[in-house]
Structure 1
Amino acid sequence: MVGGPLFGYVIQKFGIRYALHLCYLSTMLSGLALFFSFDYYSLLFSRIPVVFMHGQQAHQTLLSALTQPGKEKTSAFGRMGLTFGIGFIFVPIFSIAATKIGGDLAPLLVSAALCVLPSVVLETCIERKSNEHDISVDESNGPAPQIYFTNVVRILQKPGVLNVMAKKNGGVIPFLMIIAVLNVVGYTLFTLVFFNFWMLLVIMPFVSLGMSVVATCSDSLLTALVEESEQGIVLGTATSLNSLVRTFSPLFAGSLLQNYGFQSLTLLGVFGSLLAIGLMIVSPVDENLIKKHKTE
């Protein structure tokens, strides 16, 4: 929750290449520190580097810098989402193999070692640009960042940003509350017909497709609505909002579940998704607000 916007500030201040290396290094250090943890306090210490372990945010920012707003950027975000999905499939296989060979803690060492690979790819396969280490903010892009919280508020107040945030989170916040991925059709099916386990086969395709499209298109729009130097911060703010919901959702969702039953959560999802759809109809994003790359 703290690291998302903070990592976005690092991107804005020092550039995406520096931030990516910081992300890889933090991931490696967190794995090594966890491997060598021996008591409660050393375990807590091992979580400190996680503040900068924001791979999805970092690579979305990189893709934003390499692609044009619109179809090209949205397609790139979608492909990155596909790679994350593939990772979720194969990572358990590698973890089991590492555990069989080196013991229960071996996956931590393997993950730390693998962090060297993306650093090499970044340095050898991604073209270096003049603004990657020092992203300056000129007068046309707004005032230079001073107090960080004020800077976040300034970005959120830009035309269209809160509009897209509301549409994205109308369906996402209920999803975070019930630790599942559900959309309009999906919530309704859960509410009305989910009384046998096999019905998940009917529900989940709607769920997965709906939320994948919402997340990909929303993040693409958010980066297109702000200046290039502000893309990391707006993505970090969106990530932190999700983390904030995850922090408090067990209490709120547990209370709803205990007092009103499972269907209260799915009905909340239906309401949130319908609210997002309503905003799309009543308050569409002005296409003239979408920023173009500085090189154009």
Structure 2
Amino acid sequence: LYKSCRHSCKVCFILGYIQTASGAFQIVGAPLFGYIVQRSGIRFGLQLCYISTVLSAILLLLADDVTTLVLSRIPCVLMQSAQAHQALISLQTSPGQERTIAFGRLGLIFGFSFVLTPLLSMVAVSIASEQGPILLSSVLSLLPLLVLKLGVEQTSYESDASSNPAVTPLPENNGSDLYSVVRVLRRPGVLNVMFKKYAAHLPHILIVAVLQLHIVEQFQSTQQTGQLIQMIMGLCMMLSSGFGVMWLRKLFNEQALLFLGLLSFSVTYALFMVLYRLWVVFIILPFLAIGMSLVDTASDSLLTSLVSENEQGLILGVVASVFSLVRTLAPTISGYIIEKHGFSTLAIIGFMSTACGHAVMFLLPINENLLTKPKSE
């Protein structure tokens, strides 16, 4: 891309265009993927996810102009890795402590990838130049297919969902994906949990969209500084998801974990308000990691407990779709806010939004009876 464009501003414009296209495909794909899982099973959905990842890497490797770069983003429609694995964990665990701890372990792997990815990319570039990371990605994307084939047993709910009494049959008038989304959102407690999750998380996406640019402009940081921040964030995610969530879940239930996560986000946004020195970023990262781990793990565990078993993939898809939409619009929205009102305004928005989440926690707590109901309801 840099070779084909003479001006850096044109490169930035094209990169923004490609990122927008990727976000649009993710928005469309998240509920679609959930619907596919609901209809055809999680194993089929995982296979589509892995194959799409391999296809995207191959197309990106072959891309030589802007058009082919955009075409390489089309498989993003079904590249819903986090959603797919959360759905698989939901089917294999019971609501409550077991599922929350399992989600925490998934977060541990996510944090580990933050640390490992920059290291692997640097090694791949040193061996095979610019195309090294793409080649490595293509090869590594094949490994999950082997793990799925050899390490994940074919279960009864995959082979014959109709014979499993725990799975709720779909209504006969369910003729569209939109109907399924509306139905799952009307489940008691679902919108309540989603509001709390979004209240804490969405402002964070707005900040992250411009944080790197803000750090470069404000503190004249280098690429090495950005990589260091990413690696420290990964370490914090590993510790908070792999150990913090599991330890705290033994002491508190999911609603208490969600409250603690919102509290950690409040501290994070308060620190972002006073981001006048680069070292403040390294104080923010642990609180941000704890907030993300607790809010994501607890809310996803609650959401999958509030819906029937065959709707778990769909509700996770709806959640992912909203996040994809915000990530797509975040650079434009955040850039406008920074230009007009300054970076600290984003932090103030996050603090106020999280305060709304706290208010809902106290005023509209989730009925515990909804979390202990049988899956077939």
Q: Same fold (TM over 0.5)?
A: yes
- Superposition pairs for residues 12-23 of structure 1, below 5 Å? 12-23=38-49
Q: Distance in 2 between matches of 1:9 and 1:135?
A: 15
Q: Distance in 2 between matches of 1:224 and 1:257?
A: 39
Runs of 4+ displaced beyond 3 Å: 133-142, 291-294
Match of 1:116 among 123, 142, 146: 142
**SS of aligned partner of 2:352:** helix
Q: Distance in 2 between matches of 1:35 and 1:216?
A: 35
Question: CA shift at 1:293, angstroms?
Answer: 4.5
Question: CA shift at 1:97, angstroms?
Answer: 1.6
Residue 31 in structure 1 maps to residue 113 in structure 2 = no
Question: CA shift at 1:264, angstroms?
Answer: 1.1
**SS of aligned partner of 1:178:** helix
Change (3 A) 1:114 1:28: same
**SS of aligned partner of 1:132:** helix
Change (3 A) 1:278 1:36: same
The residue number in structure 2 matching 1:164 is 193
Give the letter aligned to residue 199 of structure 2.
G
Calculate the aligned-residue CA RMSD, in Å: 2.0
Change (3 A) 1:186 1:54: same
Unaligned runs of 5+ in 1: none
Question: CA shift at 1:189, angstroms?
Answer: 2.2
Match of 1:58 among 60, 79, 84: 84
Q: Distance in 2 between matches of 1:129 and 1:244?
A: 34
- Residues matched between the structures, number: 293
- Superposition pairs for residues 181-260 of structure 1, below 5 Å? 183-191=265-273, 193-260=274-341
Question: CA shift at 1:216, angstroms?
Answer: 1.0
Q: Scaled by the length of structure 2, what TM-score is found?
A: 0.74
**SS of aligned partner of 2:110:** helix
Q: Distance in 2 between matches of 1:227 and 1:110?
A: 39
Q: Distance in 2 between matches of 1:198 and 1:107?
A: 30
Residue 143 in structure 1 maps to residue 171 in structure 2 = yes
Change (3 A) 1:42 1:140: closer
The residue number in structure 2 matching 1:273 is 354
After superposition, the C-alpha distances for 1:106-154 in whole angstroms (9 at most, x for unaligned) are: 2212211222211111122222112215545989555143111121011
Match of 2:369 among 268, 288, 293: 288
- Superposition pairs for residues 86-125 of structure 1, below 5 Å? 86-125=112-151
After superposition, the C-alpha distances for 1:133-179 in whole angstroms (9 at most, x for unaligned) are: 55459895551431111210111111011000000000111011111
Question: CA shift at 1:196, angstroms?
Answer: 1.8
Question: CA shift at 1:247, angstroms?
Answer: 2.0
After superposition, the C-alpha distances for 1:52-90 in whole angstroms (9 at most, x for unaligned) are: 011111000000011110011011001101101101211
* Equivalent pair of 1:16/1:62 in contact (CA under 8 Å): yes
Unaligned runs of 5+ in 2: 1-26, 212-232, 234-263
Q: Distance in 2 between matches of 1:62 and 1:104?
A: 35
Q: Distance in 2 between matches of 1:238 and 1:157?
A: 14
Q: Distance in 1 between matches of 2:168 and 2:272?
A: 49
Q: Distance in 2 between matches of 1:252 and 1:91?
A: 28
Q: Distance in 1 between matches of 2:333 and 2:290?
A: 27
Give the letter aligned to residue 165 of structure 1.
M
Q: Distance in 1 between matches of 2:68 and 2:97?
A: 46
After superposition, the C-alpha distances for 1:215-243 in whole angstroms (9 at most, x for unaligned) are: 11101111111111111110010001011
Question: CA shift at 1:14, angstroms?
Answer: 0.8
The residue number in structure 2 matching 1:153 is 182
* Equivalent pair of 2:309/2:375 in contact (CA under 8 Å): yes
Give the letter aligned to residue 346 of structure 2.
L
Give the letter aligned to residue 270 of structure 1.
F
* Equivalent pair of 1:164/1:221 in contact (CA under 8 Å): yes
Question: CA shift at 1:37, angstroms?
Answer: 1.3
Q: Distance in 2 between matches of 1:229 and 1:27?
A: 25
* Equivalent pair of 1:14/1:135 in contact (CA under 8 Å): no
Q: Distance in 2 between matches of 1:204 and 1:55?
A: 24
* Equivalent pair of 1:3/1:52 in contact (CA under 8 Å): yes
Residue 8 in structure 1 maps to residue 34 in structure 2 = yes
Residue 176 in structure 1 maps to residue 205 in structure 2 = yes
* Equivalent pair of 1:37/1:43 in contact (CA under 8 Å): yes
Q: Distance in 2 between matches of 1:205 and 1:189?
A: 12
After superposition, the C-alpha distances for 1:176-220 in whole angstroms (9 at most, x for unaligned) are: 1111698101111222x3322222232222222112211111011
Give the letter aligned to residue 156 of structure 1.
L
Give the letter aligned to residue 143 of structure 1.
P
